[in-house]
């Protein structure tokens, strides 16, 4: 039995929801407090037991490669200034071995995954999206890998979302479940409001058997003018069971502005150095804004 050892992190999207910040900078480099979002994702992959990571990049994404590279000048400078704690943080991001491949045009998430097919070969593999940071006792990807080990089938990470949010996600139509593991009748990409078959939304963590590449290869342009990963999952599910797993953990949506702001506040409150001052600041602005509202 083959274990899941490799992971793809697609990061070639245009990040339009964060323009103009993402005009010259990858959205994956936007920090939550002091760490770029993509580093949280890489750390989850490694903590889950992934040994090889490939990041799919595109135009204007050089900063991602630089971030995970060795930075001798910076390290020497921190050593000279005896800033050893910072040195440790800088070294953490260059200790991982990461491969890169370019998606020449942003033709969609499905196409980005397909671009990494030669790196994966004929093995099961994981996909992690940078838009979702998950805090969990057992890393979200590890939970899916454990399900793969027992089913030997592709497993898609899902969580429940409110009914008025289903149109933003890929949604599963479950047939039956064994605790958190669902057999799936259908996968639907961004269903029109009011038409979703359930509230179980695909959350940016996947484990695939390599057959998914056959279906990605056959894909036409789908919803939003892109090659959709969800459409290929739906095709694969017609030939072999694809399971959905409702993973445990708190998921933070950092791919859109409000989620990004909320996550920043939550992470600042979890940081021992920042917690008290952040709380104080929040109390002050809350008071100011409440009194402003009263004056209206």
In whole angstroms, what is the distance from residue 78 CA to residue 88 CA?
10
**What angle do helix axes 140-151 and 37-47 make, rounded to 10 degrees?**
40
- H/E stretch holding 79 reads helix 72-80
- Binding-residue pattern over the window 44 to 83 for ligand UTP, x denoting contact by CB under 6 A: ------------x---------------------------
- Binding-residue pattern over the window 126 to 165 for ligand UTP, x denoting contact by CB under 6 A: ---xxx----------------------------------
Coil, helix or strand at residue 177? strand
What residues numbered 98-127 form the site for ligand UTP, per CB under 6 A?
103, 106-109, 111-112
- H/E stretch holding 135 reads strand 132-135
What residues numbered 183-222 form the site for ligand UTP, per CB under 6 A?
none
Q: What is the CA radius of gyration of the chain?
A: 20
Residue 12 touches ligand UTP, criterion: CB under 6 A: yes
Residue 16 touches ligand UTP, criterion: CB under 6 A: yes
Helices (H) and strands (E) in the chain, counts: 11, 13
Tell which one of 5, 17, 89, 168 touches ligand UTP (CB under 6 A). 17
| Closest CB 14 distance from ligand UTP, rounded Å | 4
Please enumerate in sequence order all residues whose Cβ is within 8 A of that of 67, keeping only pairs 6 or more positions apart, or say none: 29, 36, 38, 39, 93
> Which residues does residue 243 pair with via DSSP β-bridges, in sequence order?
155, 183
Burial 30-47 (b: 16+ CB within 10 A, else e): bebeeebbbbbbbbbbbe
Q: Cβ-closest residue to ligand UTP?
A: 13
Q: Which is nearer to ligand UTP, 21 or 163 (CB)?
A: 21
| Closest CB 203 distance from ligand UTP, rounded Å | 12
- Binding-residue pattern over the window 22 to 41 for ligand UTP, x denoting contact by CB under 6 A: -----x--------------
Q: Which is nearer to ligand UTP, 205 or 278 (CB)?
A: 205
Residues that bind ligand UTP (CB under 6 A): 10-17, 27, 56, 103, 106-109, 111-112, 129-131, 255
């Amino acid at each position: 039995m083959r274990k899941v050892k490799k992971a793809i992190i697609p990061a070639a999207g245009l990040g339009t929801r964060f323009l103009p910040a993402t005009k010259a900078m990858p959205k994956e480099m936007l920090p939550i407090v002091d760490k770029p979002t993509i580093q949280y994702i890489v750390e989850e992959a490694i903590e889950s037991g992934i040994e090889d990571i490939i990041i799919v990049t595109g135009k204007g994404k050089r900063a991602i490669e630089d971030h995970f590279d060795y930075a001798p000048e910076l390290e020497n400078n921190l050593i000279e200034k005896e800033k050893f704690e910072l040195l440790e943080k800088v070294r953490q991001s260059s200790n991982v071995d990461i491969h890169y491949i370019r998606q020449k045009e942003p033709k969609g998430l499905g196409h980005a995954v397909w671009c990494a097919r030669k790196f994966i070969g004929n093995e099961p593999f994981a996909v992690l999206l940078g838009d979702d940071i998950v805090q969990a006792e057992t890393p979200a990807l590890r939970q899916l890998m454990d399900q793969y080990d027992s089913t030997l089938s592709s497993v898609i990470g899902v969580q429940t979302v409110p009914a008025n949010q289903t149109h933003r996600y890929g949604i599963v139509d479950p047939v039956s479940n064994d605790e958190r593991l669902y057999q799936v009748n259908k996968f639907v990409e961004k269903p029109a409001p009011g038409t979703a078959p359930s509230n179980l939304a695909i959350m940016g963590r996947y484990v695939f058997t390599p057959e998914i590449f056959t279906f990605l290869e056959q894909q036409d342009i789908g919803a939003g003018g892109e090659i959709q990963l969800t459409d290929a999952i739906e095709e694969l599910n017609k030939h072999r069971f694809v399971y959905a797993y409702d993973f445990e953990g708190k998921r933070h949506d950092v791919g859109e502005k409000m989620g990004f702001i909320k996550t920043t506040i939550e992470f600042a409150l979890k940081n021992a150095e920042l917690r008290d001052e952040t709380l104080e600041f929040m109390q002050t602005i809350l008071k100011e804004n409440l009194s402003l509202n009263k004056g209206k």
